[in-house]
Chains A and B, each alone.
Chain A
Amino acid sequence: SQTIHQWPATLVQPVGSPLSLECTVEGTSNPNLYWYRQAAGRGLQLLFYSVGIGQISSEVPQNLSASRPQDRQFILSSKKLLLSDSGFYLCALGRGASSYNEQFFGPGTRLTVL
């Protein structure tokens, strides 16, 4: 079965600093990968998804970006963090659009921007 790793687990960063969050998956190949953010009182929001290496789609305009340099690696980045970027960032994987396909989530990264 597949495993999703995220690091770091927690991060405290000052406003204006850069960001790099990493997600790697094991036990599967060619997955769809997703970045979600969970902010207090707002539920889970899809930020980016990727169907393959170098293929990134953005769901919402923001100062974040994503990259997929390898099949099983998904990176979330920012050049300059905002206070509003604080939240719980979750990486997820899915396998295609079939109704049989579940999404599975990683353990998350708690980001606090001060």
Chain B
Amino acid sequence: KQEVTQIPAALSVPEGENLVLNCSFTDSAIYNLQWFRQDPGKGLTSLLLIQSSQREQTSGRLNASLDKSSGRSTLYIAASQPGDSATYLCAVRESGGSNYKLTFGKGTLLTVNP
């Protein structure tokens, strides 16, 4: 059974700092990995999708990497801003029989202090 773990559970940083969020998964047989952002009381916003054949994806100040063999992904946020404050979730889409669904981590609550 796939399990996804995100560390740390919460992170507080001053504005302008570069930071890394971690995600690990137990079964490396995945189609892709997706990073989401969730603001309080809101739905999930997709940030980046990394296919299993890729090693990283970039969007603006965000860079996500994937090491499928070791079951790890990181989300790098450069020059953090107070507007980046949110919960960040990673999710993996398994290959094979369970390829219809995502398995989520519990998220990292990020607070960027002005």
Contact = CB atoms under 8 A, between A and B. Distances in A.
Contacts of A103: 34, 46, 91, 93, 102
Contact of B99 (A57, A90, A97, A107): A97
B100 A51 contact: yes
> Chain A binding site: helix, strand, loop or mixed by DSSP?
strand
A44 interface: yes
Interface string A71-114: 00000000000000000101010100111111111111010000
Interface string B74-109: 000000000000000101010000011110111100
B51 interface: yes
A105 B43 contact: yes
Interface residues of A, number: 30
A62 to B, nearest CB: 16
Interface string B41-76: 111111001011100000000000000000000000
Contacts of A97: 31, 99-100
B22 interface: no
> Chain B binding site: helix, strand, loop or mixed by DSSP?
strand
A34 B42 contact: no
B111 interface: no
A51 to B, nearest CB: 7
A59 B103 CA distance: 12
Interface of B: 31-32, 34, 36, 41-46, 49, 51-53, 89, 91, 93, 99-102, 104-107
Interface of A: 4, 6, 32, 34, 41-44, 46, 49, 51, 57, 59, 88, 90, 92, 94, 97-108, 110
11 contacts: A6-B43, A44-B89, A44-B91, A51-B100, A90-B43, A97-B31, A98-B31, A103-B91, A103-B102, A105-B43, A105-B45
